[in-house]
Amino acid sequence: MRLDRIWKPFLWVLGGTPDRSFVDVEPERVTFKFGEGFDHSVPRSEIAKVERTAYPLWGGIGWRMGRRSVAIVGSTKSVVKVSFRAPRRVRMIGIPMQCSQVYVSVEDADGFVRELGAGGVGQ
């Protein structure tokens, strides 16, 4: 994950450190981990779309819950939206919710989109 230096002291509170915040893309699944606040794996076959997106600072940095979406962002730059084929049950900071999409800040957004697209994800 991309974590901008200015936000690292605030993210550290819930374990949002570089070694505990990542997106792991495997052949069969994608795991989103952001400290202790978010840890969720999804089969790649359940991902409908992956795309770069603008993410405004007023959207907030850190662990964010929206209507059917979560954001795990440590930067407003290089944010990707991952949409699921059907809503999934996730836990954000221990709170269960239905989620249709995840916004995540990554180091290389274009590479991330290409990598997931190469795995057969519908674009």
* Residue 123 counted as domain residue: no
CA 30/CA 77 separation, integer angstroms: 21
Containing structural domain, residue 64: 5-118
Task: Give the tens place of pLDDT for each residue, 9-35.
Answer: 888 888 889 999 999 999 999 999 999
CA 64/CA 9 separation, integer angstroms: 17
**Residue 119: pLDDT above 70?**
no
* Residue 96 counted as domain residue: yes
* Residue 10 counted as domain residue: yes
* Residue 19 counted as domain residue: yes
Task: Give the tens place of pLDDT for each residue, 83-96.
Answer: 999 999 999 989 99
| Cβ pair 72, 61 in contact under 8 A | no
Kindly report whether the global pTM for this prediction surpasses the value 0.85. Answer: yes
* Residue 77 counted as domain residue: yes
Looking at the structure of the chain, the number of domains it has is: 1
CA 99/CA 39 separation, integer angstroms: 13
